[in-house]
Each structure stands twice: as structure tokens, then as C-alpha cells.
Structure 1
Amino acid sequence: MLYKYLLEWLKEHNIYFLHLNRRKLRSYLNPFQSVLLEILLNDYRIDFKKEGGIPLYKEGEFYLLNRKGPYYSDAILSKQGVKPELNLPKYPLFIIDLRYYNRHTEKEKRRIIKEILASLIEVRKYLWDRHLALVANRELFNFISHKLGNNKILRLDYPLNGIALDPNADEILTEKDIKENNIFLIGGIVDLGQNRPWTKELFKEFPRKRIEFYGKTKGVPDRFNRIISILLKVKFENKTIEEAIKENLTRKDILERLSIELPKRWVKLDNKFVLPKKEYEELNKMFGRDIKPYLKVFKVEVIEKQ
């Protein structure tokens, strides 16, 4: 997590109690990660000023204070003061290639922008904006950047050499690949109702690998943000690819995978298909959740018979 660099800086300057000075934090982030983003994105600084407050969050020996209270800070978050000099890493880097953006319909273009915004949110949970890049001309980049709001993502004219994620690739992506490599290429392609194998064409000069979920690509999330989330969880939380996928499955992903899993497992009873309890429990384990709500789509019931 990138905020560890901020904690090191605070420790070097004997700051263990930091007052937020009424600044609201992003609720989906670790509070210190949110403070770091305020410094990097909104030019907030550290002012060596004492301010009374109440503890909002504690991590190790560090406290965040807010409002008024009996605990005094060593410094406050402010537009005044010192800008922390943090030697932040440049990698990993997630590159979304938008060279085929104009091949899409207007509805698909809106979906692409929505997924880029969601990708930025995922990246900010662990890193910050400079770890996300778009391959796009300046006009398109400026258009999308405006849609994203305040950000500092990177623009590239051409993708850097890295691993390209392609569901049709010959090679399988492994946890070792994710941990040992720092540049990942994602095709900025959506196919609402269409099959578009453009990724191979887009990344023909780069090594391509596919993500598998228990031996198959069926049911692997295909949205940019969920692919990036899978990579981040493996890289920073030491999760397996399967564990990371389970946390990113959408209803669509689950139904797609069930469409090939159920015919291998159900049995016919009284002119209807039923799922033995043992198979049901195995599928629950595979998806990391109760699949009964999804079985209704296939009109399949669970029976006690093993």
C-alpha cells in the first residue's frame, strides 16, 4: 500500500497524531491512503501545528484526529506548511489501450469511460493515479480525463512493453507472472452483445496471457476495473487468482460459468433438472457464495440426494 511511504515520512518528522482539520476522507479507502491522495491530488500539506481533536483512526503508532477534542496533534492537514517529499515507486503500471475507441458505438464508449473511472477507483485503493495510463491521442485523453474529474493519470502514445491480458491467448497468467511483472496491458474494448477478438490485433507485438478461473476463461470478469482489481489483490494482498476472481464476480460472470458447470452436474428427475446437494456445495465453494439465487434462472432445484 502506497500510504506506507507517508507513514515513514511522518515518523521521520515525529508526527504520530495528525489532525484532519475538518477534511473529509474517501470512505472506500484506508484513511491514511485517503490522506496521501489529498496530498498528491489536491496539494494538501503538513502544517506543524497543534490542534485538539478526537481519534478517528489508528494504525500502529499513528493516529488521525478530527473535530474538537482533548487529544492534541503533532501536525494538521492543511493548504499551508510542508509538502512531504515521498520517493514513491512508479510501478506497477496498468495501461488501458484506447486505440480502437472510435470503433465502438456511443453506448459502448460511455461504458468504456465508466470502466476507466471504476479502474481509477480500484488503483487508488492501493496506489495512486500515476499507476494508471491510457493509450490515446491528446484530444481523446483530455475528453476522458475531464469526464473522470480531478485526476493525474498518465497518457501514452503507445503501450509500454508488458503482459497483455487476452482471453484468447495461448498462455495462462499465473500468480508468479503477476508478482514478477510490473506492466500490464488491457485492451480498451467492450463488446455489448458482440464478439470482438480485437485484443490479439491490438497487442500483437506483446506477450499475451489469459486469466483462467478453475481451468476455464468462461466466467472470468471482463471489465477493466475488475481485471485490475484481480491483479492488485494478487500483487498486494497475496491472494490466489481464484480468490481474487471470486471477489470480483458479477451476476453476469456467475451465470455464464454456471451455463457450462450445471449441465455437467445436474440430473434429470421427474422430467426436470435437479442439482444434488454435493454438487451444489461444490459450486458454492467454487463461486465463494450461495448460488441458489442464480439457479432460479436455470429453473434448477437442489435435492438432498448425493
Structure 2
Amino acid sequence: MGRFKKVPSSLCPMKKPGDVLREILQEKGIKSVGTLSRKWPSGRDIYQELALLLLEGDGAIVELREETAESWDLNGKKVGPSKYAYVRPCFVEKFKVIVDGSEIAKRLPDYPWIIVDLTFWNRHIPKEKDKVALQLRETYAVVRRMYYPRRFAITWVNEEFKKKNKVPLEKVVSYEGSTADFLREKGINRVVLLDPNAEEVLSREDLQERAFIIGGIVDMKGDKKGTTAKIGEVLEKEGIDVLRRKIVLRGDIVGVPDRINHIAEILLRMLYGEDMEKAILAVQAPTHARWRLRKEIPKRKIRYLIDGKLYLVVEKELYDELKQWLNIRWEDFVKVLRETGMVALERRRIHHLNKISVFRFDKSGGKRVILLKRAALLCYNC
């Protein structure tokens, strides 16, 4: 039921409201639910959206006197008639209520919390503040789709943010005080701070913690390096134990999406059991992949000095290898080759060049020297 793989409860106490709703319906022997309202959820997980409607007080699931014409089973597939249906608040009193928001709320765990800390809001220029507001709106959409908005908190909320804000603050936890005060109110004394400059990588054991903090930081000017670490320093002064952790792709942060909403989605996917690499690739855009491509391709270059001219060559097959763990297209590969002044040759051609060349050491580590002019014709960009 649902899109994300579950992990043992000892490692992951979180549950989606949609999963809780399915559990309740299964216990009551209800196999499908119809509707008497035009307002019916759509998307990848209709029971997640339906559960959120109930939690927000927007209706209930009731027992009908006559069956609906159609309904949706617990996998979201449209099936035949059903005695049970979702109705809007104005019709609830006319029927026997089977499931409402309060029943779902009782079963939802109190954690983990996803917290965006706006400590350094005033360090941003106006355009950056607009970006923060936009990314928070997209983070809300991610949390609504994948988790529960009432476990999404924004701290250090001020009046300027409220004016720029695009998030329905009544559906999340909007906290005007400090993150430390919020954590104390929730009885939490240790958190994971997601920091790209941390020394340690986010591990499966870290996912047992009750709160995860993402810095509400956008760095268009390039003057905020190390700012996330300062959030941790402030918390530690307040007596909060901070675990600084980073998200990496094969040991490097290059290529890891850095938008607030992307970080939140990677984290949520890991909380639901996906490994880090798979979670990153689920949200990685070609732009992020090209960042990493610019770093990976030069590692594999071969230097050829052909008739006095230097060529930087990589295997054409490298594209297939990198494509397995980067969301790249062939045009991305070619674009980066041109940016770096390199050429791609088929492996068999490189083997031929190696046969007719002599390796010589130099200050750059060495190169293969070919004296044949005609060999230069083999080097072209694919």
C-alpha cells in the first residue's frame, strides 16, 4: 500500500496518515471507499490526501444506506459499489460516522519532526528571501504528499516572512520563537542538523532521532558558507545535543540537490527505507547531475600528445557507466566534454592509441606520446 518501502519500527517510528487510514479501514473490514462529494483526492496516493482532509476536519468516512455507484480500493484502484463513502462536513450528521480525523490522529506518532530554521533570514537579500519562501512552499507540498504537514515546523518566523510566505501556515507548525524553545516544548534534547559541511554522513542509526533540522538558507551571493553550522552552535549553547550530518552521493556532496524541498524529500525517502543514493537520484535534476559530471569526467581523462598537440581523451563508454548513478542525458555528457575541452573515443580506439604510443612522465602525472600525424584524425568529439 503506498509508494515507499517501510523499515522496522525500531528504526522508523513515522507513518503516513494515508497508511494509518488504510490500517483503520482494514481493521473495520472496509475494502473500498466511495464519495458523495465532487471533492475527491487525485494523484499517486488518494488515501494519503483523503486522510489529510479528515485530519483537517474536512469531512468523514460514513456508512451509507445505499451503495455508491463506484469506489476505490485500498490500493487506489477504481472498483465497484461500496456502502462506505467520504462526505463533506455539511453531510456528516446525516450518516453514521465510520472514520474521522480524530481516530487517525490518535494513531499518528509524535515524531519525527522536519524543522526548517529561519535563524538567518535577515542575512538574505530580498531576492534570496523570495527563494526561501518559494522553496518552503515546495517543501510543504513534499511533506503533504509524503508525510504529515503537522509534523513540519518552521521556526524563527517573523512578520516579513509572513508577508512573503506562500505556505498555508495554519496547516503546519509556524513557530515565532527559537528552534531551541520549540524543541524543549516537544521534549526533544537531541537533533540531526543536515549540514553539507559536516564531517559525518547521515546514517541509518541517525534516522532514529526525533527531529531533523534543515537550514532555511539560500546562498545566491556566495557569502553564507558555514552558516548552517552556526545554527548548530546556537542550539548547543542552549543545551541541545546536535548531530551534524551531511548527505552525499558516492562520498561527495557535489551532485546532491541543495534546495530546501529537495533535501526534505531525500530525508523523507531515507526515513521510509530508501538508501541514500536512490533517494538522491529520485530528486536529482540534470543540472545537479552535470555538477558532478564536471568533477567525474576529468578523473578519467587520458592525456595524449599527438604530433605536438595535447588531447584530453575519455572513453565514450564512460557515459553508460556514469548514467547508472547520475541522472544525465547524452547531451549533458557532450556539453560537459565541450566545456572541459575533452573528446570521447570508443574504448577500442583508445586501445589502438595506447599500442602506438609511449608513456612519459611529466609535472601533470604523465602523458602518452604519439609521433604519427595521421593518429590525430582519430581524436574527435562524438
Report the TM-score when normalising by structure 2: 0.70
Q: How does 1:235-250 map to 2 (within 5 A)?
A: 235-236=271-272, 238-250=273-285
**What corresponds to 1:229 in structure 2?**
265
**What corresponds to 1:23 in structure 2?**
39
- Which residue, 230, 233, 249 being the options, matches 1:213? 249
- Which residue, 168, 172, 183 being the options, matches 2:201? 172
Taking structure 1 as reference, are residues 111 and 128 closer, same or farther at Cα in structure 2, changes over 3 Å only? same
Q: CA deviation at 1:141?
A: 5.9
Q: CA deviation at 1:293?
A: 1.8
What SS is found at the alignment partner of 1:194? coil
Greater mean deviation of Cα atoms: 262-271 or 101-110: 262-271
Distance 2:40 2:303 in 1: 57
Does the CA contact (< 8 Å) of 1:48 and 1:76 recur in 2? no
Give aligned pairs, total. 295
Distance 1:274 1:77 in 2: 65
**What corresponds to 1:183 in structure 2?**
211
Matched, 1:196 2:203: no
- Which residue, 22, 25, 29 being the options, matches 1:10? 25
Q: Percent identity between the aligned chains?
A: 28
Taking structure 1 as reference, are residues 213 and 63 closer, same or farther at Cα in structure 2, changes over 3 Å only? closer
Write the deviation string for residues 44-77 of structure 1: whole angstroms up to 9, x where unpaired: 222322442224x4336x8766xxxx62332333
Q: CA deviation at 1:265?
A: 1.1
Does the CA contact (< 8 Å) of 1:266 and 1:275 recur in 2? yes
Matched, 1:71 2:98: no
Does the CA contact (< 8 Å) of 1:53 and 1:73 recur in 2? no
Does the CA contact (< 8 Å) of 1:219 and 1:257 recur in 2? yes
Taking structure 1 as reference, are residues 76 and 246 closer, same or farther at Cα in structure 2, changes over 3 Å only? closer
Distance 2:293 2:21 in 1: 44
Taking structure 1 as reference, are residues 282 and 193 closer, same or farther at Cα in structure 2, changes over 3 Å only? farther
Distance 1:207 1:106 in 2: 31
Distance 2:286 2:244 in 1: 27
**AA at the equivalent of 2:246:** R
Q: Which runs of 5+ in 1 are unaligned?
A: none
Does the CA contact (< 8 Å) of 1:221 and 1:227 recur in 2? yes
Distance 1:273 1:42 in 2: 64
Q: Which runs of 5+ in 2 are unaligned?
A: 1-15, 184-189, 237-241, 349-382
Taking structure 1 as reference, are residues 260 and 193 closer, same or farther at Cα in structure 2, changes over 3 Å only? farther
Distance 2:311 2:57 in 1: 60
**What corresponds to 2:368 in structure 1?**
none
**What corresponds to 1:162 in structure 2?**
191
Structure having the higher Rg: 2
Q: CA deviation at 1:286?
A: 2.3
Does the CA contact (< 8 Å) of 2:290 and 2:328 recur in 1? no
Greater mean deviation of Cα atoms: 294-303 or 109-118: 294-303
**What corresponds to 1:103 in structure 2?**
123
| CA RMSD, 1 decimal | 2.5
